Structures are given as structure tokens and as C-alpha cells.
Structure 1
């Protein structure tokens, strides 16, 4: 069944900054509260703090970066959150940019796809309390967690291009996209997911699309809103490559033109309520199972209060 969720539009430094978004999940039709990677406050620990404040809601990360934690530690944190919240938890992972890999590990992964495949298998083995057999290049340790009954943990992978989509099809429970047009999902990434799953003899993972969006208003600056949400991603080669494959040209020398291309290409949704409702439906029609509403640009330019009200409106719009 198609599901709408929300991304916390802030990188919270204090628990109370996250509570209104957890409350929105608890009191509206939003299904799950997502956070992305931050180097300010760890998202898993902030989710635990929210649960201790009384908001035990389904939660997820999309995506945390593999070089920051060993897969056994990643499994332990994810399972702990499932136990604390009493809800299934989606633990999304990704290798990060090559520059980040080098900064954390001394050198980038020689094969990010191999490293990611091994990481997911190591996390799953730890969660199942069953050592994994076979040779491993990046994660040789076979330590597992003590058995513990908890709600399930789903392992997600950040997917931008077909290679990672095939790996996600092979080993992941969830494929998570960011800034990816619905048409590119339908025509390119979902077929690659299905191909990887078929080769592994398993069902294809469910698909989560984290979609940046904002309501078009007379006093809202489209360029400023889009860039506040995504300027960092647009500077990364792997995001520009994904967008180019989707037919969205990003030219660092033409800021305004690049923003128009993002909006026209369906990577950033900027429209009135009817237009956004239609574009959200296009994601579901493309084969996406869960759309995560991201109003980070609104929050950055207009404040957390405006972003919270916009999220509440968009949850209603998307469910219509």
C-alpha cells in the first residue's frame, strides 16, 4: 500500500527540535519519521531521545554513511531503536562520496559496490545472530549480536545509479533514493532493482523515494528554496551523474538554469497543492512504495514553524 512519510527538516541539536515532527507522525497520516546523516548529533541517538520523551513512532535513517560505523555497531544501534520504540526500524546505509571515504578510511573503497554488498550482509548476519560464511574483503569480522526479540529491522541502501540498484536488489530490504525524478525511477532504477533481485532469487526490495518539495507561493523564492535544500548534493559528482542520466543538466556556472532544470525535470517538486498531489501520485505510479516529504529548503529559508505547517499540509495533499 502506498505510504507517505516525512523527513525531519532540521539537523536537531536538542531533542525538543525533533519532537514536533514526531508528533506530526503520531497525530496525522504520516507513517514514519526519517532523518538523514548529520555530523552534529547522531540521528539514532536523537530518535532514542524522542522515544524517551513519549513519542514512540516508526523511524528510519536515509542514509547513514558506512565509514562512520562498523556493521556490527550499525546492527546494534538499529536493533536498539526497534526495541526502544516498539516499531520496525529502517536502517539506511550508503558508502558516501569517495572524498568522504578517503577522509574516514585513509583511502576510498576500491569497489564501493563490493563494500556495500559486504556491509549489508554483515549487518544482516549480526541481526540474525548467525555468522556469515565466505570470503570478505572489507568486513571480515563475523561477530553477531545476542538473540533478542524486537520488532524487525529493515536494511536499506541509498540508490542513485543502476549499479547500486542491482546490489540493493540482491541484498537490501529497502532501496532509498534522493532527488531522483519519478520517471528515472520507473524507467531505470526500478528495473535494475528487479534485475538484481531476480539474479539473487529473492523478491525485489520495496522502494522509498525521499522527495524535496515546496508549495509555490507568490512570496516564495524558488531558486533560494531549491538551493537551500540541495546545494550540497548538487556539488557531488555522483548526484550530478544520476541527474544527468535522468536528463536533468546541472551546470555549476548557471545556478538559476540548474534550478529550473531540477524543477522541470521532476527532481524538486515546486507547485501548487493540486500540482504537488499529481506529482506525488506519479511516484507511486512509477512503482515507489513510500514517498518521504522533504521540506528542508522551506525550513532553511523560512524557519521551522513554516516548515512544520507545510509538512502538515503536504501530508494531507499527498493522501488526497
Structure 2
């Protein structure tokens, strides 16, 4: 199992790039960037590329409703060129609360939207002329970025329909707040079976996890509850928490001593996760210690 950094970017633009550089110095395999309400993930990846010559870079995830496939293909291929071919493009439909409440767009039929988005996006990433007319979007055009190979595409997926689409049309999935049990018993088998039925290679399963090597796990979890508690009200995350028998997002955090964190990482590997993205949480000292410890577990 490869281990990377989930770079949340709390320290500003230069701080994000330095976090990625630190992950590279530690020997981590990748650094993935979220697309939240601040820095643009693909732009940051393109800026970081020349500064970090080895580490893989990715997005987790770019919201599909916010960008037309033609626009995203051009941006992703530009970032792919800037990173020397090290980009993994993670995309996802986000949540009804964000798409309708923030963007003012309809969130009807998100699975159909993701299927059609992939059907249009993948040829564009290959530089092919595309004329696609679907129920949720239309695309006509070509994106030409010389020398940029199409990046692998991951889809954020937790439910059976999206996992099936990810296995059929993408290179894998990227998850958040999902623990090793639900990944091993549900996510990995679902997407692997879908890929097999579609005649595609075994998919990547990229899982992000909040970890903390700490002597005060209750404090760490209370901090996460304060920072992310409202996200637990999103419908997809409520279902995921019920599936795992957890009350809140803070209950998904693996916080404790080194033995406890190491055992948690081993459980992700045993579940069939191909890439674990570590989001170190806690104090500055705890985050630094946690990331260095995770790097030693590779």
C-alpha cells in the first residue's frame, strides 16, 4: 500500500507547497489536494510540480458540477504537463447542499451526471475530438495540450451506483471518512467487481484518513468535531456513518499511540486500499510527528 499526504492547506499557499515538499523529503508516495472553498487544487498542483520533482500529485476531489468537461480537461492536462506526468485527477459530484445551496445548480440525477461526465471527459483527456449529447450535459470540442499524457481519473464514490460507475469508466475511487471495515467489506469488492465486469484493470482505491500520534485522543477528536461536525449532516456522510456504526465524523479519526496508529494503517492495507492519504491532525508537533511516523510505515 502506498502512503501519501492529504494536504489540507491550512497554512496558506506557500505553506501548502512546503507541506508537499516535506512529504517528498519524508519519502511519501503522493500528495493529494482537496477542492474546498479556498485554493484551487489543480492550480496548486501545477505550482508545486516544479518544486517537488518526484512525488505524485493528485486532487481529492474537483467538483464536476462546477466545471464543464472541456474546461476541466484543459486545466487537468495543463497541470499534468506542469507536473511532468505525475497527476492523478480525482473528481466527484460533491453534495446537494453545496451544488444547490452554493452554486445554485440542480443536483438531480447525480449518478447519471457522473456517468455522462466521464463519458465526455475521458476522450477529451486523450486529445480526441468529442461530440457528446447526454441528458445532463453536452460537449463538443477538443483539448490540445502537446506532450501531456491523460492522467488517471478517480471518482469519489461511496454508494453502489457510483462505485459501479467508477469501476466501469474510471481508474478507481477516492474516499473520505471511510474506515478500513467498510472499505474492505463493501467499497473494494463493489468497485473491483464492476471493473472486472467491464474488462478493466483492478482499480485503485485511494482512502484518506485522519491520523494522530497523540497522548490525548479525546482532545484531537473534540477539535475535529468542532471543525467538521456540520459536514456530518450531508446525506452521503450520514449514510456512511450509519454504515460504520459511528455517531460523528470525529469517530473516524485514528488517534492514539504509535502502536494504535500503526495497527490502523495495517487494517487499511488489509482491506485492499492501494493508497492511504494521511491527514495528520492535532497540534503542530503532533501533526509533524504523525506524518513522519506514517512515512516509516511504508
Give the TM-score taking structure 2 as reference length.
0.90
Distance between the aligned counterparts of 1:29 and 1:158, measured in 2? 26
- State the secondary structure of the residue aligned to 1:288: coil
Mind listing any 5+ residue stretches in structure 1 that lack a counterpart?
A: 251-257
Cα offset, 1:228, TM superposition: 4.8
Misfit runs of 4+, over 3 Å: 103-107, 131-135
* Aligned residues of 2:100 and 2:106 also touching (Cα < 8 A): yes
Residues 145-154 or 90-99, more deviating: 145-154
Match of 2:52 among 34, 51, 55: 55
Aligned residue in 2 for 1:31: 29
Aligned residue in 1 for 2:275: 290
Match of 1:71 among 62, 66, 69: 69
Deviations 1:209-251 (A, max 9, x none): 101111131487133233256324212121011121223244x
Distance between the aligned counterparts of 2:254 and 2:193, measured in 1? 29
Distance between the aligned counterparts of 1:50 and 1:89, measured in 2? 11
Mind listing any 5+ residue stretches in structure 2 that lack a counterpart?
A: none
Deviations 1:167-209 (A, max 9, x none): 1111111210111011111111112112322332322321101
Give the TM-score taking structure 1 as reference length.
0.85
The 1:135/1:30 distance shift into structure 2, 3 A limit, reads same
Superposed CA RMSD: 2.2
- State the secondary structure of the residue aligned to 1:59: strand
* Aligned residues of 1:63 and 1:93 also touching (Cα < 8 A): yes
Distance between the aligned counterparts of 1:105 and 1:47, measured in 2? 24
* Aligned residues of 2:7 and 2:33 also touching (Cα < 8 A): yes
Q: How does 1:296-307 map to 2 (within 5 A)?
A: 297-298=281-282, 302-303=283-284, 306-307=286-287
Match of 1:182 among 141, 160, 180: 180
Match of 1:314 among 290, 294, 297: 294
* Aligned residues of 1:162 and 1:192 also touching (Cα < 8 A): yes
